[in-house]
Structure 1
């Protein structure tokens, strides 16, 4: 799965600048090759492309997240949700939530209700391995997921989509397999990335990590096969841009990423037998209906939302209906070159990698990090800078825990009291500390340690200590008839959700209902 890791197709080749001109504050520097080579275009955000809008002057604009909320039909994460989170957990909201870096959701309030009432749920996220080392942007969803797992004490599944990265790369290369892009290469990347993920501190007792090439089969494959039967090629093409030249493997892949969100795909994690060789346990010949009752929360970046829009429209059409998966969605960690893109493993100067040395981190921030400052020191002291577009400050907003210090840095920068070099120095110190501590833990992750996480076994987790309930009881919280989808900026819901709401309204009013609707025709996942 490429939860935050499908690389942006637009690679920024931007000339280095320590200070931006007054006119350039809020936009990246000009492209070295010439501004007229960047034609105007709308922002493009999907699982395979992340690029901000290019205006008539050739400037790449920051990603418009409010527009994404409206286009995707998600809901904004509000202060109400933060208060509800604190009420249910008894703990302060995480910094990535309170700073609205995780900014949007689908039914996050319902997963909180389910946890409060029934005691547990499953976390699911993942990574599309495309390089031997993860970068800071890849780490963000995992850091947030780790905090969720620790606080809620629930099981976590992490999917490594080595197969998808192979299919995507070969499809991108018009069917040609280039050197270093064989299936075995992506499996090797997956193993290295798993070690990186483990080094972030996940609890082995309640964390299962797998690669698709090594794990798929059993009940997982049955869910995948059934889910494939629920999605037409037109629907998949509309959501992901597939065409007649897309390989059949790449077009079919999305069903795996969707079926991976079902707890019933992992019976062994919950103490149920699977139906795999050599045992072929007869008691597991059919999928375990009880596991279909467990709700799932997916922390991921907003570009992955189209997968789960398709998933949510079909959860309740499975043989064993599943509650609609819940999402909490993040922004992208800005590329070093500034607004309009995210860190990319294919461009080493766009990202801070978890394998970078302290000297490399210092050099990248000083040389490549886009500045929100003024062209001259005199102008900066007089007019101040813009921390909202300053990359060093942006990175601090992700990794600096102290809210008061973060606000103080912003105020001093806006007033001109703090210079660009000082902001970069503070960022360098924080990132060197984070990456250095990670690298010390990473040294301890051996092959044997990795295999302890990738071995299917029953998870050990406690859930809500104030509640004890069975998975069957938890089902009711997330499978009730959906209310009418909200309109406007708060999100319209998917076409399938709007259709379900309309059907519910017809039933409530005892109006005649067409047989097609009763049969569960499903929504077109391409609608926003």
Structure 2
């Protein structure tokens, strides 16, 4: 299959599955994206004054046309952000990574953001789910997304089943440009796939055409195939090819392979996990790069490259570059034990989740603003996208 990426070392990255230990350099070559260079990072730093921890540490590592987005911004043309989520029964820490980075981009560049909640696709892709279920999950997930702290006047959060009237005309034009063979190859569909899933990519592409500016999409690199289809057809419809900035996958608790799964509780920390649950999961399931005994660990040290608690701290939870270097050195030398490293992560996670839950409660008062009544939301409900 054209977009089904399986490497000789046996890792797989598709929009619906990530398996094995991902070699991100190989993935850049395979997907035909560009590496985010030090030069590009310096350009961003010059424009906004600093770099987000996930850019400094190459968690966001690959792009398409990020240089053109920065050109447009420098020329005063601007750009807009687009990301989204297929709702699920409970979000985990991994789901928040693109949203946290997207908030930083919105804050720094002061741009509009569109967040698509694909309650339709989730329903169509899973035979056992009802539409009522996916809509109910959408509400819960939207609260978690609002809790990240987006600008309510410049952010529009919409569910496909609600906003379909406004975006159907542009979706139809997109759909007419996509062939069944392209969609089937990109998304692993076959003759038993329901026809909703064949049409659905048009709806995910539609928000890239909400403005006559370049669209920048921060997302996991597994979502890249959607945007390749968009880039094939955008200019023929009078719009820009969508630009992307791709993140790596936060490794599951159980080891450095694959990505976290909502359906596999021991792989993930959920946003609703209480402090005791977080402690139990990290201590019991978090894959360690340490030695089997304290004596051996003191002698040989640990391996942070495969140690999941260290990786989580490195990705996001320890933002201080000097401190993360210190932790790495102490762990490698054997001075810091596995249990001590895990405890650092437990404390960081619990303080993060406590703050997140507080903001999530406040989000219940803001959901109408982000979906219907905010400045951008109001404009969007008055607009039919042609």
Return the TM-score normalized by structure 1. 0.68
Give, in angstroms, the shift of residue 449 of structure 1. Answer: 2.0
Q: Which residue of 1 aligns with 2:254?
A: 337
Q: Which residue of 1 aligns with 2:45?
A: 86
Q: Which residue of 2 aligns with 1:116?
A: 74
Give, in angstroms, the shift of residue 359 of structure 1. Answer: 0.6
Larger Rg: 1
Q: 1:303 aligns with which of 206, 216, 222?
A: 222
| Structure 2 counterpart SS, 1:341 | coil
Give, in angstroms, the shift of residue 134 of structure 1. Answer: 1.2
Q: Distance in 1 between matches of 2:158 and 2:176?
A: 24
Q: 1:365 aligns with which of 266, 282, 287?
A: 282
Pairing 1:130–2:78 present: no
1:198-347 alignment runs, 5 A limit: 198-218=146-166, 220-263=167-210, 291-292=211-212, 294-318=213-237, 321-347=238-264
Q: Distance in 1 between matches of 2:38 and 2:373?
A: 39
Q: Which residue of 1 aligns with 2:367?
A: 450
Q: Distance in 1 between matches of 2:311 and 2:79?
A: 32
Give, in angstroms, the shift of residue 345 of structure 1. Answer: 0.7
Give, in angstroms, the shift of residue 119 of structure 1. Answer: 4.6
Determine if contact 1:412/1:418 at 8 Å carries over to the other structure.
Answer: yes
Q: 2:16 aligns with which of 48, 51, 55?
A: 48
Q: Distance in 2 between matches of 1:456 and 1:324?
A: 30
Q: Which residue of 1 aligns with 2:381?
A: none
Give, in angstroms, the shift of residue 348 of structure 1. Answer: 1.2
Q: Which residue of 1 aligns with 2:332?
A: 414
Q: Which residue of 1 aligns with 2:345?
A: 427
- When residues 94 and 78 of structure 1 are mapped into structure 2, their CA distance, relative to the original with a 3 A threshold, is same
> Which structure: greater helix fraction?
2
1:5-84 alignment runs, 5 A limit: 42-52=10-20, 62-84=21-43
Q: Distance in 2 between matches of 1:378 and 1:344?
A: 35
- When residues 399 and 119 of structure 1 are mapped into structure 2, their CA distance, relative to the original with a 3 A threshold, is farther
Give, in angstroms, the shift of residue 241 of structure 1. Answer: 1.1
Q: Which residue of 2 aligns with 1:143?
A: 100
Q: Distance in 2 between matches of 1:414 and 1:41?
A: 27
Determine if contact 2:69/2:214 at 8 Å carries over to the other structure.
Answer: yes
Determine if contact 2:66/2:245 at 8 Å carries over to the other structure.
Answer: yes
Q: Distance in 2 between matches of 1:353 and 1:346?
A: 11
Give, in angstroms, the shift of residue 445 of structure 1. Answer: 2.2
Pairing 1:104–2:23 present: no
> Segments of 4+ in structure 1 off by > 2 A?
456-460
Give, in angstroms, the shift of residue 443 of structure 1. Answer: 1.6
| Structure 2 counterpart SS, 1:229 | helix
Q: Which residue of 1 aligns with 2:141?
A: 193
The two structures, once aligned, show a CA RMSD in angstroms of 1.4
Give, in angstroms, the shift of residue 42 of structure 1. Answer: 2.2
Give, in angstroms, the shift of residue 452 of structure 1. Answer: 1.4
Any stretches of 5+ residues in structure 1 without a counterpart? 1-39, 53-61, 171-177, 264-290, 461-528
Give, in angstroms, the shift of residue 145 of structure 1. Answer: 0.2
Determine if contact 1:76/1:104 at 8 Å carries over to the other structure.
Answer: yes
Q: Which residue of 1 aligns with 2:112?
A: 155
Pairing 1:385–2:302 present: yes
Q: Distance in 2 between matches of 1:225 and 1:83?
A: 40
Give, in angstroms, the shift of residue 261 of structure 1. Answer: 1.4
Determine if contact 1:208/1:456 at 8 Å carries over to the other structure.
Answer: no
Give, in angstroms, the shift of residue 458 of structure 1. Answer: 4.0
Give, in angstroms, the shift of residue 130 of structure 1. Answer: 1.4
Q: Distance in 2 between matches of 1:242 and 1:324?
A: 25
Higher relative contact order (CA 8 A, sep 6+): 1
Q: Distance in 1 between matches of 2:313 and 2:73?
A: 32
Give, in angstroms, the shift of residue 190 of structure 1. Answer: 0.4
Determine if contact 2:94/2:250 at 8 Å carries over to the other structure.
Answer: yes
Q: Distance in 2 between matches of 1:254 and 1:456?
A: 28
Q: Which residue of 2 aligns with 1:174?
A: none
